[in-house]
């Protein structure tokens, strides 16, 4: 167990009030749970008859039309790109860092109103957050988020205690993301306040966008040096911000015996007249950086192949391209 976490386990709670006389943790937790129950009930009333269980995950694949004919109802549309989500203290509560966080964050949009996971960790595999680096390691979305109507973000995050009965709620909320949160093609940083913490969401709304899915990343020549750390980042011409697809952190990059590098994220929104850049970075034990990048011009469908040459190895990326369609379109028009 992390030494800081082992020390804090002796305390009754990981939260402490910043001012005297505020609401108690128990009172605020009850308020949080009431709000979530109301949102869940509202969703079931609005969408339960057409979208199934509240617990259902989205079934729409990001490479829906990468192969085959593109139907008339599918095409470039407004998509929401999520760059990062950071956990921060709010004005009322201090957090005893570090914390072991588990749970999920999911987006629900017009495509099918089901859960599209951005972050997901089980209690047995929590992410350790420290105050100096409290960004969640995103693993999604598994398909792009369409901003046709306002998007709901469902958040269920907990802090792992010594035993499950000692786990504490970090945030249990639903937030709405609408067109008023930023201009098209501009980076937006917005904070969502819960009772016990704040989430800082960095995002961008992109118009007339196609979906790029990094289908695979493979070392096709050479080999990855022992002990080298690695990162894979993507960037689009429209927004000056990296999209982190893989970060091995302080440990070496994991490469499968067949040379496959498994990415943590793989879906990127690209404006149809823009450009996608994918960069492969390697860091030696002496912190020397080796990097190369490859550019992909967007397509309506099919795939693109690009190469990053790091000197000691060559990494091949295969990117699939597809427009999007909603569940109602799929049901009415078919695939």
Give residue-wise pLDDT tens across range 86-125: 999 988 888 999 999 999 999 999 888 999 999 999 999 9
Does the pTM surpass 0.85? The reply is yes
pLDDT, residue 38, reads 86
pLDDT, mean of residues 269-295: 94
Nearest partner of 322 among 65, 111, 58, 146, judged by Cα: 65
The pLDDT tens digits of the residues spanning 23-76 come to: 777 888 888 888 888 888 888 888 888 888 888 999 888 888 888 778 777 777
Beta strand pairing call for 267-271 and 303-309: unpaired
* Gap between the Cα atoms of 165 and 178, Å rounded: 37
Is pLDDT at 294 greater than 50 in this prediction? yes
What are the boundaries of each domain within the chain?
3-63+80-207, 208-322
d(CA 267, CA 248): 19
pLDDT tens-digit readout, 310-325: 999 999 999 999 987 6
Q: Can you read off the two tokens belonging to residue 160?
A: 């792992």
In whole angstroms, what is the distance from residue 85 CA to residue 7 CA? 27
Pairing, β 276-283 against β 289-296: antiparallel
Average pLDDT over residues 180-187: 77
Q: What is the CA radius of gyration of the chain?
A: 21
What confidence tier does 242 reach under pLDDT thresholds 50, 70, 90? very high
**Phi and psi torsions of 179, nearest 5°:** -65, -20
- Whether 138 and 244 have beta carbons less than 8 Å apart is answered as yes
> Interior CA angle at 269 toward 186 and 250, to 5°?
90
Percentage above 90 pLDDT, the chain: 58
Which one is predicted more confidently, 99 or 2? 99
Alpha-carbon torsion, ordered 9, 14, 17, 18, to 10 deg: 100
Residues 6+ apart with CB under 8 A from 260: 216, 217, 218
**C-alpha distances out from residue 24 to 16, 89, 97, 132, Å:** 10, 16, 20, 27
Quote the CA–CA distance of 243 and 204 in Å, as a whole number. Answer: 11
| CB atoms near residue 291 (< 10 Å) | 13
In 72-149, which ranges are E strands?
77-88, 93-95, 99-108, 116-121, 127-129, 145-146
CA distance 15 to 19: 12
Tell me: pLDDT of 327 over 70.
no
Q: How many CA atoms lie within 13 Å of 16's alpha carbon, on the beta-carbon side? A: 6
- CATH number of 208-322, picked from 2.60.40.150, 1.10.760.10, 3.20.20.140, 3.50.50.60: 2.60.40.150
């Amino acid at each position: 167990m992390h030494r800081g976490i082992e020390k804090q386990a002796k305390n009754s709670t990981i939260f402490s009030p910043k001012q005297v006389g505020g609401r108690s943790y128990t009172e605020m937790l009850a308020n949080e749970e009431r709000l979530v129950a109301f949102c869940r009930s509202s969703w079931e009333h609005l969408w339960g008859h057409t979208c199934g269980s509240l617990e259902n995950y989205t079934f729409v694949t990001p490479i829906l039309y990468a192969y085959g004919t593109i139907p008339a109802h599918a095409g470039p549309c407004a998509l929401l790109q999520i760059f990062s989500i950071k956990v921060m203290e709010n004005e009322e509560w201090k957090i005893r860092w570090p914390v072991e966080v588990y749970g999920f964050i999911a987006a629900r949009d017009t495509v099918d109103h089901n859960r599209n996971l951005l972050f997901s960790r089980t209690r047995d595999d929590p992410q350790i957050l420290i105050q100096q680096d409290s960004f969640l390691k995103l693993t999604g979305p598994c398909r792009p988020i369409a901003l046709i109507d306002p998007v709901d973000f469902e958040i269920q995050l907990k802090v792992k205690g010594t035993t499950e009965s000692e786990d504490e709620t970090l945030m249990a909320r639903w937030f709405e993301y609408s067109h008023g949160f930023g201009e098209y093609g501009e980076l937006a940083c917005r904070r969502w306040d819960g009772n016990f913490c704040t989430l800082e969401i960095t995002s961008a709304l992109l118009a007339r966008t196609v979906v790029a899915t990094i289908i695979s990343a493979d070392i096709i020549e050479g080999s990855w040096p022992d002990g080298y750390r690695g990162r894979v980042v993507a960037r689009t011409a429209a927004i000056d911000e990296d999209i982190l697809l893989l970060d091995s952190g302080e440990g070496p990059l994991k490469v499968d015996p067949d040379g496959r590098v498994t990415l943590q994220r793989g879906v990127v929104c690209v404006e149809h007249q823009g450009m996608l850049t994918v960069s492969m970075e390697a860091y030696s034990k002496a912190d020397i950086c080796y990097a190369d990048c490859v550019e992909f011009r967007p397509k309506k469908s099919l795939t693109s192949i690009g190469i990053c040459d790091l000197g000691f190895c060559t990494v091949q990326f295969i990117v699939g391209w597809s427009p999007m369609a909603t569940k109602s379109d799929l049901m009415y028009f078919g695939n």
